[in-house]
Amino acid sequence: MADINFDYHPQFFTATILEWKHLLKPDNFKDIIINSLLFLKNEKSIVVYGFVIMPNHIHLIWQIQDGFIKEKIQQRFLKFTGQQMKFELANTNPEKLEEYRVNAKDREYQIWERNSLSIDLWTQAVFIQKLDYIHNNPLQDNWKLAEYAEDYKYSSAKFYETGYDEFGLLTHYAS
């Protein structure tokens, strides 16, 4: 990682679907995540170094860019993706949408759990450990989503193995 003074360090960010439901299993829901990250990347509010989209949660290594507020970027990302998933469910599977109905003053439906996790990555060693964790997540016994990390489409593992970025989303941490 370049030794540059940024307002924010790279962060390991995790968000989970409400009650660990497997909403992200179909690719159209994963694509909502990808498209939102691409939007934020293209507006230059984030740099994405690594990611994995699992059936019920996501892990990112991203860096909020100077001039943007971490909490607002995270809130925008979760709010927008949640709304898009709600619209997708309303259009394609209204019965399933009812699983996300909540009794809350500020919302009728809730897609994401309220307590996402964001951890600053202060050293390259910790950064690499989190990147390895992300890439190996689909291989865990309870998931078995791929035989090799680079074979799982919705992950940055292939990018780090081959240099190919299928989504046009990633920046190599060493660049």
In Å, how far are 21, 73, 85, 102 from 159, measured between CA atoms?
28, 24, 26, 38
Give the model's confidence band at 5: pLDDT under 50 very low, under 70 low, under 90 confident, else very high: very low
- Would residue 36 count as lying in a domain? yes
- Would residue 173 count as lying in a domain? no
Q: Residue 112 in contact with residue 23, Cβ under 8 Å? A: no
CA quadruple 29, 61, 109, 69: dihedral, nearest 10: -130
Tens digits of residue pLDDT in 151-173: 999 999 999 999 999 999 999 99
Q: Which amino acid is at 98?
A: E
CATH number, domain with residue 138: 3.30.70.1290
> Ramachandran region of residue 106, left (φ > 0), alpha (ψ -120 to 50) or beta?
alpha
pLDDT at residue number 6: 52
Burial class of residue 42, CB neighbours in 10 A (0-12, 13-18, 19+): exposed
- Would residue 4 count as lying in a domain? no
Question: What does DSSP assign to residue 101?
Answer: B
- Would residue 172 count as lying in a domain? no
Percent of the chain with pLDDT over 70: 96
Backbone angles phi, psi at 105, to 5 degrees: -70, -30
- Would residue 2 count as lying in a domain? no
Name the average pLDDT for the chain.
94
- Would residue 56 count as lying in a domain? yes
Two tokens, residue 127: 């950064």
- Would residue 6 count as lying in a domain? no
The boundaries of the domain holding residue 47 are 11-162
Q: Is the pLDDT of residue 98 over 70?
A: yes
Average pLDDT estimate for 19-48: 98
> Ramachandran region of residue 148, left (φ > 0), alpha (ψ -120 to 50) or beta?
beta
- Would residue 168 count as lying in a domain? no
Burial class of residue 133, CB neighbours in 10 A (0-12, 13-18, 19+): middle
pTM: 0.94
The number of domains in the chain is 1
Q: Residue 85 in contact with residue 23, Cβ under 8 Å? A: yes
CA dist 121 and 6 (Å) reads: 13
Average pLDDT estimate for 8-27: 96
Instruction: Average the pLDDT over each of 4-8, 62-66, 119-123, 125-129 and give the range with the smallest value.
Output: 4-8
